[in-house]
Amino acid sequence: MNNQSQVDRYAVFGNPIEQSRSPEIHQMFARQSGQSLTYGKILGQVGKFSASLERFFNDPNAKGCNITSPFKQDAANWVNDLSENAKACGAVNTIVRHDDGRFSGDNTDGKGLIYDLTKQEVSFLNTNVLLIGAGGAARGVVLPFLEQQVQSIDIVNRTKTKAQDLASWFARKNVAGLSFEELNQNNKNYHIIINCTSASLANELPNVGDYVLSKADMAYDMVYLPKPTVFMEHAARLGVKTTSDGLGMLVGQAAHSFKLWRGVMPDTHEVLNHLRASL
């Protein structure tokens, strides 16, 4: 018998996909926990994503997959069942195949962020959170923050209506959408400020006033680079005590996906150190 044909199979779908570190992360999780599996990358085609998923799951050994940009909303429409968080943000980054033939979708992005912040001993209770950007990255973290009993979440975006639309999606009095002008004119203290944009990849800063940023306890950039991002460096110069990039979030969300598939929560420390050293 060919044992390889019986090995559980996983993959990540995206476009582009070549840059994904997910196969490396999950193979390390598998070795660490004594699991036997394969994990690959699949380049999805815009407009043909459902067909790609169906081809993948035609293999009975295909047990689940991760979804990255730009297919997370397509994945939410494809699965049979959605977790509360996936329903709340309208996006799926993890699909699980069940023994009864149904497929469930979850979004572990926000769990990964909370996991990383918790590892860094960030306190959530009664804090004010500012999310910079109103795209999919911000959408995925609102409910996980609310579950940590933060006091408020403000979402700021260049287009105010997009921030307001995202805030209204959650229909909570303590979630609001702002323009940058409104943000920089208010006197609110934000304990945790999360840059949910990719501005740092272009070495650009979001239009958050220095006065607003300087009062934060934590400035977190969802992107990651070999050195501290321009957002992290700027926050540190302003006196922000703790800054972080998003590499820990990447590993954290992967760990939560792995747990959904395999029933084991892996140790992220070794994997995070390995990735950090290889950037």
Q: Which residues are catalytic?
A: 72
Location of structure tokens 């992005």: 109
Q: What is the rounded CA–CA span in Å between residue 152 and residue 183?
A: 14
266 near 258, Cβ under 8 Å? yes
Residue 261's contacts (CB-CB under 8 Å, 6 or more residues apart) are 10, 63, 64, 94, 96
Q: What is the rounded CA–CA span in Å between residue 158 and residue 156?
A: 7
Q: Which token pair is 139? A: 């959408």
H or E segment at 73? helix 72-78
156 near 122, Cβ under 8 Å? no
